[in-house]
Structure 1
Amino acid sequence: MSDVRIRDAEPGDYAAIGALTVDVYVGEGYVMPESPYVAELADTVTRAAAAEILVAVQDDTVIGSLTMARPGTPFADIARPGELEFRMLATAKQARGSGVGTALVRYVVEAARTEGFAAVVLTTMPDMVDARRMYERLGFIPVPERGWNTMAGLPLTVMRLPLT
């Protein structure tokens, strides 16, 4: 993962972030192309106005991103008071296995600690096997009672990393 920087997204990154996120979620079959969620994944401008978007950049190219959402904000699906949520983790195919996803998640965990959050939470899908393995390696634990289903009926798993 040499020469990869994690930083806040800038307006010049938004198109690349949207394209990467859609490519990962639709291209890998996590979301159907006709799903209304595709527009939400692509709309980085709206996301950036209501949440914090992080990017992993290598040679001025966005190779990963995720969205951090604080409880009570428009992009927080599951965060309760005291929890920092992240969503929409996407890593470019050429960067897989290089630690980019892990670095983005660790950045969120450190931000949560610095800001005094008690935990970090996320939602994952059954087919996101590699991501789930990474989350478990980082100490995230499934919270079955908080799981939920998409409008299409897909079961989602909530995972939580206690910080205190």
Structure 2
Amino acid sequence: MNDLDIRPAGAADIQAIVDMLADDPLGAQRESPDDLTPYLAAHQRLADDPNQHLMVAVRADRVVGTLQLTVIPGLSRKGAVRSVIEAVRVHADERGSGLGTRLIEWAVEESRRQGCRLVQLTSDATRADAHRFYERLGFQASHIGFKLAL
């Protein structure tokens, strides 16, 4: 994995990121890789916010993984700063290579570096393999999540 670079995503990486987001049954229903307009606007909002870290894993000049890390200051837990990991994706031909572990390790280390006392994430209830993956990395299923579509 020494040939892997984890770096902030640039606008030129958005197509590859959206393609990975769309490359599963859930993402295929939610994403529109043929129209990058909303994704490029979202990327700009993320790039302008110092608490947002949209990252890509690159090997041989090819985007092979991505995640978003959000740092959130708060009052609970004695004013603890926490981070949220979102949209973890690994390119289909890289799955099982250890890349997902490397991405999560990067996010946890960056969270520590930024003074976070808690790292959290959510995973769709149907993603049993992802749940086992996160548990192997030390995450514990501790809450029930709710969403309200607007």
* TM-score when normalising by structure 1: 0.72
Aligned to 1:46: 42
Cα deviation 1:75-126 (Å, max 9, x = unaligned): xxxxx95210011111111000001111111101000111110111111012
Alignment map for 1:124-143 (pairs within 5 Å): 124-143=123-142
Tell me the equivalent position of 1:147.
145
Matches within 5 A, 1:2-151: 3-23=3-23, 28-31=24-27, 33=29, 35=30, 38=31, 43-50=39-46, 51-71=52-72, 82-144=81-143, 146-149=144-147, 151=149
Q: Distance in 1 between matches of 2:130 and 2:44?
A: 23
RMSD of aligned residue pairs (Cα, Å): 2.4
1:130, CA displacement in angstroms?
2.2
Alpha-carbon contact 1:18-1:44 (below 8 Å) kept: no
Asked if the contact 2:85/2:120 (under 8 Å) is kept, the reply is yes
Match of 1:161 in 2: none
Shift of 1:11: 2.2
- Distance across 2 between alignment mates of 1:44 and 1:88: 16
How far apart are residue 49 of structure 1 and its match? Answer: 2.4
Give 2:98's aligned amino acid.
Answer: G
Per-residue CA deviations over 1:105-150 (Å, capped at 9, x if unaligned) read 1101000111110111111012222221221111111122x42246
* Distance in 2, Cα, partners of 1:44 & 1:22: 16
Corresponding residue pairs, total: 135
Cα 1:98–1:115 change in 2 (3 A) is same
Distance 1:48 1:141 in 2: 33
